[in-house]
Structure 1
Amino acid sequence: MSVLAQWIREAAPPKSSFKVDDIPDLSGKVIIVTGASAGIGKETTKALLAHGAKVYIAARNQSQSEETIRQLKETTGSEAVFLKLDLANLKAIKAAAEEFLSKETQLHVLFNNAGVMVPPVELVTTDGYDLQFGTNVLGHFYFTKLLLPTMIETAKTSSDGKARVVTTSSSGHLFGNLDFETFKDGPKRRKPTNSLYCQSKFGNVVFATELARRYGDQGIVSTSLNPGNIKSDLQRHVPAIARSFINTFVLWDTPKGALTQLYAGTAPAAAELNGKYLVPWARVSSPRKETQDPELGKKLWNWLEEEVKDI
């Protein structure tokens, strides 16, 4: 199947056989959703709270997150917990992980949901990385790395022997690759911002697959997914005319975008999907084959480890 044919297939999925009502009872489960103050993350948190989970909204904007927490309590009767997390700042990521670990001894599911899409190319992270790669890939890698020991211990006492890491990629990964010379700021990074976005989404799949290889035998279930072409705050950097067009003719409503990651993070059957890639709605598919190269996975993992070793 060509890349374009696969993109079209994922953009127009069949009706979902998985519904929010199919989520099992999550009482006693501790879950983190990054970027959950709005969009797909907010819808994901809403469903998790409604099924009894204790959910941490890990996000930068405290006032927006607190308003989201208020709204979701009115809707679900349950109150999420705010965790200040700036994925574009490595020291802030470490502080967020330490704050969480000071409060909790278990973590059953980590939704690496947050993302940056097509910002102005001149924007970089606090530490000088491309904003999209630094946030979407490096930031989530470091946050996951810091929480992994707790997740491995959690898996040992879980009823299914698993703890899950769900990483949100997109169909944009189909058009990406990894150019290691563009991960940090410099002349070679000055590419079209949409190509840097696709690179980061490609990187999400490579990371999730390598995580599955390295930690699957310790109870970690790592999946990546395309949530669908969804209306959300993610498109805030898209020019107004283009945004109006895609919102009208291309994008699905936000609640749809939560379905696939909710399946990956909660469905009993999804506990057996380590290393898999999912597409709308809650279906296992195949990512671009280059993302599955073990040598590329090892190379990216080693690069990521090197970047965070002295934080």
Structure 2
Amino acid sequence: MGIIQSFISEAIPPESEFSVEDIPDLTGKVIIVTGGNAGIGKSTVKALLTHNAKVYLAARNEEKAQLAIDDIECQIGKKALFLRLNLADLLSVKAAAQEFMRQESRLHVLFNNGGVMATPHEQLTTQGYDLQFGTNVLGHMYFTQLLLPTLLLGAKFSPDGKARVVTTSSSGHLFGFLDFSTFKDGPGRNRRSTSFFYLQSKFGNVVFANELARRYGDKGIVSVSLNPGNIDTGLYQHLPKLFLAIAKILWLYAPDHGALTQLWAGTSAEGGNLNGKYLIPWARIGKPKTSSTDPELGKQLWKWLEDQVENI
């Protein structure tokens, strides 16, 4: 199947065979959802709480996070826990992981859900990385790396011997590739557009998830990447308003739909057997861009990411 065919297949999915009602009882499960205060993340948090998980809602803005927590509690009578996390600041990522590990010894599911899209070219992370790559890939990689001890313990003491890391990518990864010269601000980055940076970051999400699967799959970590679908969320705030208005009418689904595939990956019995897979709407196994599965590229990206956080 070619790239265009794959893109269309992901953009126009059949009815889902998986629903929120299919989520098993999650009593005793400790889960983190990054970007959990809005959109797909908020829908994910709500569904997990409904099925009795202990959920940490990780977000940058405490006021917005608390509004989301209160709104969910008002709807279902269950409360998420706030975890301050700014993925665009590696020191904040480290502090968030440390705070979580002060509270918990085990983590059963990590939803690397947060992200940014099409941000202005001049916007960088605190440490000077491209904002989209630094947030979507580097921030999540560092957070995952720091939390690995709790994930490994979560796997060890789970009935199925597994913990899960679910990384949100996009069908946009089909059109992306990695240009290492653009990851930080400099001449290489200035030759590229903000749309390139987004597609690159989503491609990077798949490469990272695959490499995590290779390195830790035999230790009980199930790592998947996924396209949640074309979802009506705040992610599109930097796109032209006319384009967004048309998109909402023609092909954007509600956030609850966007949560389905990652909930399937993170909670279902089938999800425990999906290590290294790329998932597509709604709750299906898809086929990623072939180059994203290259083990050598995975090693190269992993080493680059490790080098960036070595002295944080």
Shorter-chain TM-score tier: over 0.9
**Shift in Å, 1:239:** 1.3
> Could you tell me which residue of structure 2 aligns to residue 184 of structure 1?
184
> Could you tell me which residue of structure 2 aligns to residue 147 of structure 1?
147
CA-atom RMSD, angstroms?
A: 0.6
> Could you tell me which residue of structure 1 aligns to residue 217 of structure 2?
216
Instruction: Give me the whole-angstrom Cα distance separating, in 1, the residues matched to 2:219 and 2:250.
Output: 44
Instruction: Give me the whole-angstrom Cα distance separating, in 2, the residues matched to 1:153 and 1:29.
Output: 12
> Could you tell me which residue of structure 1 aligns to residue 246 of structure 2?
245
Secondary structure class of the residue paired with 1:111: strand
Where do residues 1-311 of structure 1 align in structure 2 (5 Å cutoff)? 1-190=1-190, 191-311=192-312
Instruction: Give me the whole-angstrom Cα distance separating, in 1, the residues matched to 2:169 and 2:242.
Output: 25
**Shift in Å, 1:253:** 1.3
- 1:21-63 alpha-carbon deviations (Å, 9 max, x no partner): 0000001100000000000000000000000001000000100
**Shift in Å, 1:188:** 1.5
TM-score by length of 1: 0.99
Instruction: Give me the whole-angstrom Cα distance separating, in 1, the residues matched to 2:123 and 2:242.
Output: 22
Paired residue type of 1:173: H
Alignment coverage as a number of residue pairs:
311
**Shift in Å, 1:295:** 0.2
Paired residue type of 1:132: Q
**Shift in Å, 1:77:** 1.2
Instruction: Give me the whole-angstrom Cα distance separating, in 2, the residues matched to 1:129 and 1:84.
Output: 21
Aligned-pair identity (%): 61
Q: Structure 2: which 5+ residue stretches go unaligned?
A: none
Instruction: Give me the whole-angstrom Cα distance separating, in 1, the residues matched to 2:68 and 2:294.
Output: 39
**Shift in Å, 1:275:** 0.4
Q: Structure 1: which 5+ residue stretches go unaligned?
A: none
**Shift in Å, 1:242:** 1.1
**Shift in Å, 1:243:** 1.0
- 1:215-239 alpha-carbon deviations (Å, 9 max, x no partner): 0010000000000000001111111
